[in-house]
Chains A and B, each alone.
Chain A
């Protein structure tokens, strides 16, 4: 665990976490649980799970109980038989594939797109996407089993590049995003949707299960045993798309009370995108977590015993507010 001067911020964060865990064997987030109680220390997590499960349930209520509040699935749906919703990522793939969708799909994509543009693109990932439950569980297992580093059996051939494919950059998802659009335009079909586990699992829960659980198991193994946060944090082009969409979103998490931070590192350890915290928490600029990769999941708010983090709109005037906290 040597932090060289060539290490990226991500590597430093990862190594700090590992170092810290070696020193203290304390359970992550225990401080917050001790101080706030288990329920409040999992508030945002529980709300997110509630949101994810109820969205699936809303789709299932139709086929199961004949209550058609929402029809279709997450790629395109009809709310109360009137309001169309369409996933803008899938919609754009279709456009790249050379199809000019009807007004219904366009309207739906604009509605959904505007929603995530405002509340934060990756709110989709943490509050809606069912795969998030899988990868969060995988990460929990990883912490539970104290798996510290990624398996590196693939990395040997890449060693000259100082690049391990299983410890690869978080920017790779943008490459896959580009590939998914490129493939759509080259082949003229929605190629990514052939394998997209996000839309596939959601569709098969609602329309009847096929082999998509195979993808789920694969992602779980990848995230739990091979590379930390590999799917959502490094590969998923859908997450990359929503990152881009929510770049200027209104609702953002901030480290408003960063003066209180006691460097317990719990937020880094539990955050699905730990690299987004550092500039806000330790930087000299605004305490706003401005990175588009932040999923607005609120886990940092949960696990912080010092209540450093808060969720608010992005134009909050930190100068006037922080003064109240003797900052």
Chain B
């Protein structure tokens, strides 16, 4: 009897020890890396501005939950646009610094996206990290081109360039040329390229083609490039259009307490008495100066032979 209790207590002690060991182990091999990795992952959640994701990435966080870093999109990119970031790229200063290691990206200034019609990178993705719902490449939104430097862009100097406009695969929709006044010469126009976010796919051809040493037009991640109006904002004219009528309460017509027969009309210049004789308006006589320095025009005088 005593022996069995001894054995039980011993096995219980061993069990408790095992548990405490496991707890200690879990604390070390679980919690410490958990905290470190958690911090690391938070830092990795935003994409650096000079790295662009392939088409079909709608949101960096969603992408990072789905991408298994297999590189099949990179392999199927016919123009070698896509690269798979390595750990070196992601930590060392450079283009891909901060790109989660192993995930695909491209740098528009190096090789832009050629916007293949069959979108082979999206087809290659086994997990759906590149959204398979993307069927038309024009609907892609890899990033958003921004004419970021108005000082360096030569269009703002009044020079004709429009290279970004001309290389744009969705020209006139994604980039249009807007004319504005050239204040320097006062008689010429500036041909300013303007990007429209609704149609820009972020392919980066404009950035690639920009003639400056450092591109004045750059593709940025959409969240970085776009502003957003407060949710509570309503644009009156749009609301009016939607409703088909003015949404502003019409003014209540003012009630005047006037003597009988008298009305008030502002345009008719105030109070209007019922049977009042409107006095004739005194038209001031035109004052003709009796003497002017020149009685005749210069041409007449010249014709008469006088100066």
Contact = CB atoms under 8 A, between A and B. Distances in A.
Interface of A: 5-6, 8, 62, 71-73, 75-78, 84, 86-87, 90-91, 94, 97-102, 104-105, 108, 158, 161-163, 165, 168-169, 171-173, 175-176, 178-179, 182-184, 186-195, 199-200, 203-204, 206-212, 214-215, 234-235
A209 B64 CA distance: 21
B298 interface: no
If over half of B's interface residues share one DSSP class (helix, strand or loop), that class is named, otherwise mixed; here it is helix
Contact of A105 (B44, B64, B89, B127): B127
Interface string B168-198: 0000000000000000000000000000000
Contact of B64 (A8, A87, A189, A208): A189
Contact of A175 (B25, B42, B69): B25
A168 B25 contact: yes
8 contacts: A6-B17, A86-B126, A101-B127, A183-B37, A200-B102, A207-B84, A209-B88, A212-B101
Interface in B111-161: 124-129, 132
A195 B44 CA distance: 12
Contact of A176 (B29, B40, B92): B29
Given A175-B29, A183-B38, A84 B126 contact: yes
Contact of A188 (B20, B29, B64): B64
B263 interface: no
Nearest to B10: A5
B38 A191 contact: yes
B223 interface: no
Contacts of A211: 86-88, 91-92
Given A76-B126, A104-B126, A187-B42, A203 B102 contact: yes
A163 B25 contact: yes
Contacts of A75: 68-70
A53 to B, nearest CB: 20
B247 interface: no
Nearest to B88: A210
Nearest to A108: B126
B17 A190 contact: no
A245 B33 CA distance: 24
Contacts of A77: 70, 72
Contacts, number: 196
B9 interface: no
Contacts of A171: 22, 25
A104 B71 CA distance: 15
Contacts of A97: 64-66
A-B pairs, 8 with minimum CB distance: A210-B86, A210-B88, A76-B70, A97-B65, A189-B64, A102-B128, A210-B87, A99-B66
B86 A194 contact: no
B71 to A, nearest CB: 5
B72 A179 contact: no
Given A168-B29, A187-B41, A193-B69, 15 more contacts: A8-B18, A73-B70, A75-B70, A76-B72, A76-B127, A86-B68, A94-B65, A99-B127, A105-B126, A105-B128, A161-B24, A163-B25, A172-B29, A188-B65, A210-B88
Contacts of B72: 71-72, 76-78
Nearest to B61: A188
B126 A101 contact: yes
A317 B151 CA distance: 84
B102 A193 contact: yes
Contacts of B75: 62, 71-72
Nearest to A187: B41
A189 B71 contact: no
A99 B129 contact: yes
Contact of B34 (A84, A102, A183): A183
Nearest to A62: B75
A223 B78 CA distance: 42
B10 to A, nearest CB: 8
Contacts of B129: 99
Interface in B44-62: 44-45, 61-62
